[in-house]
Chains A and B, each alone.
Chain A
Amino acid sequence: MLLSASQMLASSDSLYMDALSLYEQGNFESALESWQRVVESGFESPELFYNMGNAAFRSNSIGHAVLYYEKALKLDPSMNDAENNLEFLSRYKSDAFEEVPEFFLRTWFSKAVHALPEHAWSIMALAGFVFTLAFLLLYIFTRGLTLKKTSFFASLAGLLFTVFTLSSALASHHEIIHPESGIILSPSVLVRSTPSETGTELFILHEGTRVKVNEEVTGWHNIRIIDGREGWIRTDDFGTI
C-alpha cells in the first residue's frame, strides 16, 4: 500500500517534469493537460497550480488561470509569483463589482486565516497547546510566588494563542474540505433565480470572476458575488478553489 503510493508519487513527478518540458516547447495546452493528470492522480502543490495557471493563461483560458493561481495561493499564501500573475489577470476580467463592506473583525479574521497555510496553523496550534500545558504544570507545582504568577499568565497567553491558531486552522481546514469560493470558468454565465433553465435570468458573470459558493442542488450551485447578489449557476460553469 505504502509502496504503491510512493510509486504513484514517482510517476506523478515524472508526469510533472514532462509537462514542464511541453510548456517550454510552447505546447501549453498539452502541458496543462499533463499537469491536470497529476492533480487527478491525487497530488498537488503550490508550484504545480502556479504552473497550471501560466499554462491556462497561455492557452487563453483566463478563468482557469485565475482558478489555478487562487489554488496555488491557497496552498501557499506567500507565493509572490501567483499573486503577481493574479493581479496581472485582473485586467482581463470583464466583471467589476462594488464590494459590500463586511464586519471588520470578519475581514481581519479572514485575512489572518489566509495569511498562512493550514498546516502552519495546525502546528502552531499544537505548539500553543503544549506550551499552555507546560506552564500550567509549572503554575500548579511551583512554590515561589513570582514564578507562580509568571507561569499563570504565560499559560493564559498560551491558551489564547492556542484558541486563535486552532480556530484559524479549523477555518482553513473547513475551506479545504468544503471550498467556499469558486472562479467562473465559462466565458459567460447566466445567473438564474432558480436552479433550472427556466429560472429568471438575473445577471451575467464572465470568466475569472470570484464567487462565494453556497448550497448545491443537483447540477446547480447557489453562488453569491462580491456585491451581495445571489443566484444559481450550473456546476460545470465554475471551479472551486
Chain B
Amino acid sequence: MYIKRNIWIFALLLSGVVLSAQDETYKATAPATVRAGEQFQYVIEGSKQGDVMLPEMDGFQLMAGPFSSYSSHSQWVNGKMTMETVVTYTHIFRANQAGTFTILPAAVRVGRKEYKTNQIKITVTGSASQQSSQGGNSQGARSNGSAGSADSNGSDPVFLRVLPSKKDVYVGEQLVSALRVYTRVNTRPAGGTKDIPYEGFYKKSLDPDASATRQDINGEQYVTQVIQRHILIPQKSGKLVIEPFESEWMVQQRVQRQSNSVFDSFFDDPFFSGVQDVPTKLATRPVTINVKPLPSGAPAGFTGGVGNFTMTAELSEDEVEVNEALSLKITIRGTGNLPLLGKPEVNLPPDHDLYDVSHSMNISVSGNQIGGSVTYEYPIVARHAGRFRIAPVQFSWFDHGSGKYRSSTSSEFNFTVLKGDAEDGSGSVYIPGIMQESVEDLGTDIRDITRMPPVLTPVAYSLMDQRWYKMFYLIALLVFIMVILYIRAVSRRNADLRIVKNRKASRSALYRFKLADKYRKSGDEDRFYEEVGKAIWGYVADKLNIETSGLSKEGISAELASRNVSPEVMEEFSRIIDESEFSRFAPSSQKSGTEQLYRDAMQLVRNLENSL
C-alpha cells in the first residue's frame, strides 16, 4: 500500500506536468472461461487515471480491488517528449454460478469525460467440470502423468500437483501422496493451507520434505517444494479419484513498467519494483487411483489387515479365582493398515463373560510406512471353577508384496479357575417360612460322619461273583435230584415187595388151608377155624399190602370195594370171616360143617385171586 500511494503521488505529479490531448481508450480484459467459485482478474487498462465505475456485475462478487497501477514511458524524439502512460485497475472477482455472462462496459471518468471499456463475455463452467482450467492460473498434473515428469504447458508460473507414489494398489495397501507446488515466481500460501480431503482413503500426514529443489520443466526453471505429504490407505476398491484440490496462494506479479523516465533507476529499486501479491486460486488436477479388491479366499482370522505383521498373544494369568478377571492380550506388530484392523476373533470357552475389548495403538511412521503395534485386550471373567482352554487365536492378513494371504496362529491357552470364597455357600438361599410357629432352621448342614468302625468288604464285592454262591444253586439242584431219585428207588423197592407178597399170598393161604384140613381131620375144630381165618386174613393182607395188625373187616371191605371186587365175593368174604370167628367161639351152634367151610374158603381165595 505504501508503494501504491507513492505511485499515486507520482502519477498526480506527472499528470500535472503532461497533458496530452489524445483520445483515451480503456480496455477491459478477463478470462474467457472461469469455473464457478473461482476467482479471476478483471483488469481495466488505460492511459489515464480516472474513477472507475463498474457496471452491474450479476453473478460475480468483488473480492478485492480495485488495485491500480501506473506506469509511464517517456521518449524524447527530436526534442519532443512523448510520454506514454499505462494505468491498470485490477479487480478480483469470484464467479458465483455457472453460465455465460456478459460484463457490460465499465465507465472510467477522467476529468469531465467519461470513457467506456469494451464489453466482455465470460463463460462460467460448473465447478464439477474437470476439463476446464482457469485461465492459466492452475496447472495440475495429468492423471496419466508419471510421478517424476511434470507436464505443463510451461507458461504457468505457478501450479500445484498431487503426486501419488503408486496408482495401482490393493485395498488397504499404503501409498504416499504428495502435494507439490511448482513455481517460477515468488509465491506463498495465503493463510494456512488445508489438508487435501482424500475421500475414500484413510490418511495420515507425513512431514513434508521442506527443502525446495529446482526442476526444469519444458525448458523453464521451476522451484518445486512439497507442501503436504500423506500416507493414504484406500478403504474401498474401484477407481478412487482424488478430487481437484484448491488452495489460495499469493502469487507475486510484476507490474509492467517500461518507463524511461528519469525515475527509472529509482523505481528499479526492489523497493519500488512494482511487484504485487495477487491472491490466486490454484487447483490440482484430479488423480485417479486404481484400487484392486483383495483376492477371494481369505483364510480364517482375516480382519482386513494388509501389510506385513506378526502376532503375539498371551494370557495374563494361568490361574484365577471364580469371578476374577484375566485378560488375553493379542498384539499385532508390523507395517500396514494397522489403524484399520479389526480385532481378531477369540473363541472363549462358554460360561465365561467377555467384557469390552480394549484396544491400544502405538503407531508411528517410518520409511513412509505406517507401522507399530496394536494391542487388543480381552478381559475374561470365569463364572465357574474348572480347567478351561481357549482355542488358538488365528490372525491372517494380506501380504500385498507377494499378493498372498498369510496367517499366524498362537498356541492354545489353558487356564484354571479356582473356587473363590464367593462361590462358597452362595447357592444356598434361605427363604424363611411363612408357616405358623414351626421350628426354624438357624442353619443347615450335612449330617456328621459315622464313627462306627466299618465292615470293609472288597471293592465291587458281589455275591453273584462268589463261587460258593453259585455252588449253592448247584447243591440245591443236586439235593433235589437226589431226593427224587431216592424216593423213586424206595418206592420201586416197595412195589417189588408188594409183588412178592402178592405172590406169597396164595401160597401162604394154601399152606394154612392144608394145616386147617389137618386139624379138621384130627377133629381139632378150634384150630381148624383159626387157621381158616388166618388164611383168609393173611391172604387179603398180603394181597392188599396191609399190615395184619391194622386189619378190620370194614377196612378190608372198603379196600376191596375200591378194587372193583364184586358184591357177591365181598358177601362171601364177610360170611366166611364171620363163620370162622363165630364157629371158633360157639362151636355148638350153626354147624354147616367144617368140610363145607373149608371148600367155601378155598373158593373165596380163588375168586379173590381172580379179581385182585
Residues on A lying within 8 angstroms of B by beta carbon are 9, 12-13, 16-17, 20, 23, 38-39, 42-48, 50-51, 53-55, 57, 60, 81, 84-85, 88-89, 91-92, 94, 118-119, 122-123, 126, 129-130, 133, 136-137, 140-141, 169-170, 172-173, 176-177, 186-190, 197, 201, 204, 206
Contact = CB atoms under 8 A, between A and B. Distances in A.
Could you say which of B462, B473, B484 has the most chain A C-beta atoms within 10 Å of its C-beta? B462
A189 B351 CA distance: 10
Contacts of A140: 484, 487
B448 A126 contact: no
A45 to B, nearest CB: 4
Contacts of A129: 473, 476
Given A43-B456, A136-B480, A188 B464 contact: no
Interface string B429-469: 00000000000000011111111111111111111110001
B484 A54 contact: no
Contacts of A133: 476-477, 479-480
B420 to A, nearest CB: 10
Interface in B399-447: 417, 419, 424, 427-428, 444-447
Contact of A201 (B350, B457, B464): B350
15 contacts: A13-B456, A44-B457, A44-B459, A45-B454, A54-B448, A84-B446, A88-B446, A94-B427, A118-B464, A122-B469, A123-B463, A137-B480, A173-B464, A187-B386, A188-B351
B447 A81 contact: yes
B383 to A, nearest CB: 8
Contacts of A16: 453-454, 456
Contact of A57 (B385, B446, B462, B463): B446
A12 B460 contact: no
A191 B453 CA distance: 40
Contact of A169 (B389, B451, B460, B464): B464
B457 A43 contact: yes
B459 A39 contact: yes
Nearest to A170: B464
B452 A42 contact: no
B354 to A, nearest CB: 16
B349 interface: yes
B456 A187 contact: no
Contact of B450 (A50, A123, A136, A137): A50
Contact of B447 (A47, A84, A197): A84
A201 B463 CA distance: 42
B606 interface: no
A176 B487 CA distance: 42
A130 B476 contact: yes
Contact of B469 (A89, A126, A141): A126
Contacts of A85: 446-447
Interface in B464-498: 464-465, 469, 472-473, 476-477, 479-480, 483-484, 487
Nearest to B427: A92
B384 interface: yes
Contacts of B450: 47, 50-51, 81
A138 to B, nearest CB: 10
Contacts of A206: 384
A46 B459 CA distance: 11
Nearest to B451: A20
B387 interface: yes
B462 A176 contact: yes
Nearest to A42: B459
A191 B457 CA distance: 35
Contacts of B350: 190, 201, 204
B441 to A, nearest CB: 11
A60 B427 CA distance: 13
B564 to A, nearest CB: 20
A187 B419 contact: yes
Given A129-B476, A137-B480, A188-B386, A44 B456 contact: yes
Query: What are the 3 A-B residue pairs with the smallest beta carbon separation, nearest first?
Result: A122-B463, A187-B385, A45-B454
Given A94-B427, A136-B480, A187-B386, 16 more contacts: A13-B453, A16-B454, A42-B459, A43-B458, A48-B456, A54-B447, A55-B449, A60-B419, A60-B424, A84-B446, A91-B428, A92-B428, A122-B464, A126-B476, A188-B386, A204-B351
Contacts of A141: 487
A45 B455 contact: yes
Contacts of A176: 460, 462
A188 B461 CA distance: 32
Contacts of B454: 16, 45-48
Given A9-B456, A188-B385, A188-B386, A23 B487 contact: no
B485 to A, nearest CB: 11
A54 to B, nearest CB: 5
B472 A190 contact: no
A50 B463 contact: no
A94 B476 contact: no
A92 B446 CA distance: 12
Given A17-B453, A92-B427, A129-B473, A190 B349 contact: yes
Nearest to B389: A197
Could you say which of A48, A141, A188, A206 has the most chain B C-beta atoms within 10 Å of its C-beta? A188
B171 to A, nearest CB: 33
B456 A94 contact: no
Contacts of A173: 462, 464-465
Contacts of B459: 39, 42-44
Nearest to B425: A92
Given A42-B458, A43-B456, A43-B458, A137 B449 contact: no
Contacts of A23: 449
Could you say which of B387, B450, B458, B459 has the most chain A C-beta atoms within 10 Å of its C-beta? B450
B463 A118 contact: yes
A126 B472 contact: yes
A51 B448 CA distance: 8
B456 A137 contact: no
Contact of A187 (B417, B476, B483): B417
Contacts of A169: 463-464
A201 B352 CA distance: 14
A190 B387 CA distance: 10
A118 B462 contact: yes
